[in-house]
Amino acid sequence: MLQLRPYQREAIDAVYQHLRSHDDNPCAVVPTAGGKTPIIANICKDAVGQWKGRVLVLAHVKELLEQAADKLRTVCPEIPFGVYSAGLKRRDQREPVIVAGIQSIWKKACEFDPFDLVIVDEAHLIPPDGDGMYRQFLADAKTVNPHLRVIGFTATPYRLKSGTICTPEGFLNQVCYEVGVRELIVQGYLCPLISKAGQAKADISTLHVRGGEFIAGEVEDLMDDDALVEAACEEIVEQTKDRNAVLIFASGVKHGEHIVRVLAENHGIECGFVTGDTPTEERDRTLTRFRNPDWVRQLQIDFGDTAAKPLKYLCNVNVLTTGFDAPHIDCVALVRPTLSPGLYYQMVGRGFRLHASKQNCLVLDFGGNVLRHGPVDQIRVKERNPGTGAAPAKECPECNSLIAAGYAVCPSCGYEFPPPDRNKHDAKASNAGVLSGQVTIETFAVQDVAYSIHTKRGASEDDPKTLRVDYKIGWHKWKSEWVCFGHTGYARGKAVAWWKQRSREPVPATAEEAYFLLNEGIGIAEPKSITVRSVSGEDYDRITGYQLESIPEFATASDEEVPF
């Protein structure tokens, strides 16, 4: 008997409560690797065993159908179930529970006896409108049984173009239960994710958007640059020396083949490769070598060197996002950008599963996806107007706000963005935290420093100003801090300490006085580097340390009278 986790029991209870108290259709949100399939299997057991109903479980990939069938065998072996799937070569129709592939069944609702309940796994794939396979099947199934209820399960309750999947006029109407990624990590049910700084990232400012996503051909052309692929591969190899299984997401077939070739030629590493066009037998053989390394090693022992070797690295193009289960994956490399929050989540989610061989999963992001969508447990999804598309986001170098790329001036702090350099490739990949609350501490060499007077938005003329200090740490890349000379208490104390580290002059009483001294001739210890503490999900970074030059030996203020 499969023992349910507490949140799985809560999800089932919430679904039942919604069905009793509402006339519409609920959706339950459970993270990838959080165990949706045992929840679905228990609902099937109750629906047939207690309420004498008939249930259809719908999914869109063979792996999800196989998982559902396996859990049904475990949870309720006493209940007959059938499978209707061309990929699994079965056409069962009469059993009280049918597990079906939507591609196989979407035109055949009227050929089945009425269903009382339809459970849709990966329910975010139901389109918001039109005549897609899910919508046509569900409409026909409701014609057969007007009292049909639909339950959706998903880890990502939103769509790229239209936002939330639950709407009053849709097939799913309300989220009845939701458990979060961070909650399950804290409880020990999901593997922690970490992200690290990289050395190669494409500049996506040249990409155009069509239908809410980057144009695929442009993405592949951008990411398939020789220098970028070589740098990304070098970094992947360096960062994964002590990792068990590395799943790479490429931008297209040509790009994926390029990655595989560079890993082989430059690093002597065999990397598997699967796409939507990979023949079934080759695909299954490659996935087996990646998923089951211990079994493959045993084959080597039993049958000698002619047996296939395990694969540590596996590259794919748009095929291993949902339904792919390889718990030992401890690195996910995103060598592609996407505007889809769901796709971003599904790619990163391949590393959520627990495994005895890993303590965490490393996310290497070469496409700026973490910055674009936010931490994976706090994905920022906005409702969008149909037909307008979605602009990518960018990070303000002044205040670190994530804003739409169309802004020429940051709405948060007023920073004016320079025109995009169409030929530039940034040599620094994002290390933004892939989970909210993840702390990243980095040290940057300071190339320049600038001082200015800052007035807090909404402050009155009489309120004290602050000294804004901007440290240049890269091409159009700055980190800022605000020093509060005119304040009292803790803020003034920090300003005093800041000043005494840099100057032998008396501490200024106001930001205006400090600005004059710093810009008009006082000798000051210049910063060589700064240490920055970033917490993913928060808007502002904090400068926590400095490496300073020595204070000039005879540093004094200018003879000019200070006008304060």
Query: Is residue 18 domain-shared with residue 94, that is, in the same domain?
Result: yes
Q: Are residues 224 and 301 in the same domain?
A: yes
Do residues 321 and 453 both lie within one domain? no
Strands 331-334, 527-535: pairing kind: unpaired
Residue that finishes a domain, picked among 148, 179, 210: 179
pLDDT averaged over the chain? Answer: 82
398 vs 215, higher pLDDT:
215
Mean per-residue pLDDT for 452-472? 84
d(CA 527, CA 546): 7
**28 domain residue, yes or no:** yes
Are 202 and 325 in a shared domain? yes
- Range 135-164 burial, b when 16+ CB lie within 10 A, else e: bebbebbbeebeebbbbbbbbbbbbbbbbb
Question: End of a domain among 156, 179, 202?
Answer: 179
**Is 543 a member of any domain?**
yes
Are 341 and 392 found together in one domain? yes
Domain end call among 147, 179, 211: 179
Give the list of residues 6+ apart from residue 387 with CB closer than 8 angstroms, or none: none
Q: Are residues 128 and 252 in the same domain?
A: no
Query: Which domain range does residue 447 map to?
Result: 439-548
Angstrom distance (rounded) from CA 244 to CA 362: 11
Co-location of 199 and 268 in the same domain: yes
104-143 pLDDT tens trace: 888 899 999 999 999 998 888 887 766 688 888 999 999 9
Whether residue 88 sits in one domain with residue 137: yes
| Local confidence band at 415 (pLDDT 50, 70, 90 cut-offs) | low
Q: Which two tokens stand for residue 405?
A: 């790329």
Q: What is the pLDDT of residues 243-271, one digit of tens each?
A: 999 999 999 999 999 999 999 999 999 99
Q: Are residues 376 and 519 in the same domain?
A: no
Say yes or no: 343 and 444 in one domain. Answer: no
Work out how many domains the chain is built from and give that number.
Answer: 3
CA 50 from centroid of its chain's CA atoms: 40
443 lies in a domain? Answer: yes
% of the chain exceeding 70 in pLDDT: 83
Please tell me the predicted confidence (pLDDT) of residue 397.
59
Q: In this structure, what CATH number is given to the domain that contains residue 54?
A: 3.40.50.300
Q: Which amino acid is at 330?
A: D
Regarding whether 443 and 372 lie in a shared domain, the answer is: no
* Residue 402 confidence (pLDDT): 36
56-114: pLDDT as tens digits? 998 877 777 877 788 788 878 888 888 898 878 889 888 999 999 888 888 899 999 99
Are residue 354 and residue 471 in the same domain, yes or no? no
User: Coil, helix or strand for 503?
Assistant: coil
427 occurs within a structural domain: no
Position 14, amino acid: A
